[in-house]
């Protein structure tokens, strides 16, 4: 009878244990979990704080008793694996003196043997530097126990002010839910944007949503110190400003929990994650690792990185269990597909962003488009801004970012599937997606993105971007053309652009010089594309502004 030990529960460990049992009914399976809950929805923690998920029990996916009753898996809560003896295939386990929600015990240690060991210790949150007396009012939000501490503090202290440090997933979700709970919330971000997976211009759209939702957003605000100030905390910023708050939620990020693996001599990647192969096996053939603690392959770049997301952790756990039981199974990499709610907005992303494409030295370009959530003539259609990165000259889709409302997640999922499948722009144009006026358009925005990219790659059109406008020469060496209506032009225009509406362009070609290139724009990019085709077929060199005046104004003239 085989014996499988699992270090850590939640997404990775609990999923692996259930899969192992389904594949091997006779094995002895033990999960060691240092906390008080074996399987819970940590992605839902902010929403219970905000009251959106009213029942705490709804976050508990499985209990230790439930695991044993259904799977005959033994779950040892409040017990921490502290060492691995690889030579003798044994682990040292410490019974913790106290555990939030778990079982109090003696603090003594014992050993347990294994045939196969699976590590799913997760990651630990990074905490800000602070004076010792201030630390009791600084919280992370990583476990059920963390959530309970935050709620208890708010209730017992009748806290009214909170500062959230960090603008990633947890930071933004927590800020929104603290607002929902009625608190005054300030979000402090060290860099110039929230949500690092988004490119800066797309993240800027979320900045507006946060402010509109009541969050006091402070960007480019490194923290120099945190200390007690009476019953409150005082936060000193590098700018010289200071903030006063009742408590702090630290959402700075997480680091792989690798101490156990390091001490055991397992290979560790440059990011600090445990190195694993495609079978989720570590450098020891009898030890597997999954989840936030491992370093995996980026599906697009083939580089190595940690990905702290529940979806990849669940997939890795299943694959590891398959291989432990002798079923060949491979994890081919992650594209870090994710979605985020920010008040009424949705931000979704998949694949790589432009920052990483540049860092990797990829030959790429991008298209932006404003797409409707469903047919514009059907009531309630909402606009989403879609950014798609593609490789030149292959047209392979590298990444996508979408900020909108209804339908944003749906389009991101389609593009995520395309990236996973290695699709090119031409493949996007050939998709046959479900259509009815309440749900989509006859030409879905994803298909339109493919058509736009295909036009670029086949030379039917050339483009320039919103960030190129300022560098266009105004000395007459090029011709700048606005093909919107006169009324649109009069209500706002880019300096130096002459107005010739697209519907008049054929009759007014004589006003343009074929010897000088033409740079043109419309409101969103469609009419300028049509105008570019007219000019190219009449002997002009022309390129149009991708995303049009609307995108330019959104990114260059806001705030």
The structure's pTM equals 0.94
State the distance between the two ends of the chain, measured CA to CA, in whole angstroms. Answer: 66
Token readout for 210 is: 């946060």
Is 245 within 8 Å of 162 (Cβ atoms)? yes
How confident is the model at residue 104, as a pLDDT?
A: 46
Token readout for 193 is: 């944007």
CA dihedral 229, 231, 235, 236 (to 10 degrees): -10
Q: How many CB atoms lie within 10 A of CB 486?
A: 12
Q: How many CB atoms lie within 10 A of CB 426?
A: 15
Is 39 within 8 Å of 10 (Cβ atoms)? yes
* 43 noted as active-site residue: yes
How confident is the model at residue 103, as a pLDDT?
A: 47
For 417, what's the count of Cα atoms within 13 Å in the CB-facing half-sphere?
11
CA dihedral 2, 3, 5, 10 (to 10 degrees): 60
Alpha-carbon gap, residue 439 to 283, rounded angstroms: 49
Alpha-carbon gap, residue 352 to 297, rounded angstroms: 13
Q: How many Å separate Cα 351 from the centre of its chain? A: 10
How confident is the model at residue 106, as a pLDDT?
A: 61
The CA-based angle 459-462-465, given to 5 degrees, is: 150
Is 276 buried (19+), middle (13-18) or exposed (0-12) by CB count in 10 A?
buried
Where are the strands (E) in 34-122, listed by range?
39-40, 60-62, 74-77, 79-85, 90-95, 109-113, 116-119
Q: How many CB atoms lie within 10 A of CB 344?
A: 11
- State the Rg of the chain over Cα: 27
How confident is the model at residue 11, as a pLDDT?
A: 86
* Per-residue pLDDT tens digits of the chain, which is 559 residues long: 899 999 998 889 999 999 999 999 999 999 999 988 888 888 999 999 999 999 998 898 888 999 999 999 999 999 999 999 999 999 999 999 655 444 445 679 999 999 999 999 999 999 999 999 999 999 999 999 999 999 999 999 999 999 999 999 999 999 999 999 999 999 999 999 999 999 999 999 999 999 999 999 999 999 999 999 999 999 999 999 999 999 999 999 999 999 999 999 999 999 999 999 999 999 999 999 999 999 999 999 999 999 989 999 999 999 999 999 999 999 999 999 999 999 999 999 999 999 999 999 999 999 999 999 999 999 999 999 999 999 999 999 999 999 999 999 999 999 999 999 999 999 999 999 999 999 999 999 999 999 999 999 999 999 999 999 999 999 999 999 999 999 999 999 999 999 999 999 999 999 999 999 999 999 999 999 999 999 999 999 999 999 999 999 999 865 3
Dihedral sign from CA coordinates of 270, 274, 276, 279: negative
Pairing of strands 138-139, 274-275: unpaired
């Amino acid at each position: 009878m085989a014996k499988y030990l699992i270090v850590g529960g939640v997404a990775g460990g609990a999923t692996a244990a259930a899969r192992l049992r389904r594949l091997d009914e006779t094995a002895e399976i033990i999960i060691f979990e240092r906390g008080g809950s074996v399987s819970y929805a940590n992605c839902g923690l902010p929403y219970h704080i905000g009251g959106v998920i009213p029942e705490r029990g709804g976050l508990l996916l499985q209990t230790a008793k439930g695991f044993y009753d259904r799977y005959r898996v033994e779950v040892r809560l409040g017990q921490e694996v502290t060492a691995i003896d690889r030579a003798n295939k044994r682990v040292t386990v410490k019974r913790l003196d106290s555990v939030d929600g778990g079982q109090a015990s003696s603090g003594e240690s014992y050993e347990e043997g294994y045939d196969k060991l699976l590590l799913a210790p997760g990651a630990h949150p990074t905490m800000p530097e602070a004076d010792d007396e201030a630390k009791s009012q600084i919280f992370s939000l990583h476990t059920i126990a963390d959530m309970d501490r935050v709620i208890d503090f708010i209730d017992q202290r009748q806290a009214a002010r909170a500062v959230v440090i960090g603008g990633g997933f947890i930071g933004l979700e927590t800020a929104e839910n603290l607002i929902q709970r009625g608190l005054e919330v300030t979000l402090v971000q060290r860099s110039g944007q929230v949500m690092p997976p988004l490119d800066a211009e797309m993240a800027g759209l979320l900045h507006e949503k946060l402010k509109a939702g009541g969050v006091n957003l402070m960007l480019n605000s490194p923290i120099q110190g945190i200390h007690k100030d009476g019953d409150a905390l005082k936060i000193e910023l590098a700018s010289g400003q200071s903030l006063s708050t009742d408590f702090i939620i630290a959402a700075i990020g997480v680091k792989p929990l690798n101490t156990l693996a390091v001490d055991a001599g397992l290979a560790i990647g440059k990011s600090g994650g445990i190195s694993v192969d495609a079978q989720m096996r570590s450098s020891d053939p009898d030890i597997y690792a999954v989840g936030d603690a491992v370093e995996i392959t980026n599906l697009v770049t083939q580089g190595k990185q940690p990905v702290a997301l529940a979806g990849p952790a669940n997939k890795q756990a299943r694959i590891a269990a398959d291989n432990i039981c002798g079923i060949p199974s491979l994890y081919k990499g992650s594209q870090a597909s994710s979605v985020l709610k920010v008040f009424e907005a949705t931000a979704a992303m998949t694949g790589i962003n432009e920052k990483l494409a540049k860092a990797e030295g990829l030959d790429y370009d991008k298209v932006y488009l404003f797409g409707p959530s469903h047919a514009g003539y059907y009531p309630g259609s909402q606009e989403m801004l879609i950014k798609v990165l593609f490789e030149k000259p292959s047209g392979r889709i590298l990444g996508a970012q979408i900020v909108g409302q209804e339908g944003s997640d749906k389009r991101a999922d389609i593009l995520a599937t395309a990236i996973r499948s290695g699709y090119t722009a031409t493949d996007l144009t050939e998709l046959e997606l479900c259509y009815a006026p309440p749900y989509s358009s006859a030409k879905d925005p994803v298909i339109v993105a493919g058509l736009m990219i295909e036009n670029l790659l086949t030379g039917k059109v050339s483009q320039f971007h919103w960030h190129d406008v300022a560098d266009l020469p105004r000395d007459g060496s090029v011709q700048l053309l606005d093909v919107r209506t006169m009324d649109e032009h009069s209500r706002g225009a880019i300096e130096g652009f002459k107005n010739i509406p697209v519907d008049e362009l054929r009759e007014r070609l004589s006003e343009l010089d074929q010897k000088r290139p033409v740079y043109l724009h419309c409101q969103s990019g469609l009419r300028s594309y049509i105008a570019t085709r007219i000019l190219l077929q009449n002997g002009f060199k022309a390129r149009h502004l991708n995303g049009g005046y609307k995108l330019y104004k959104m990114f260059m003239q806001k705030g």
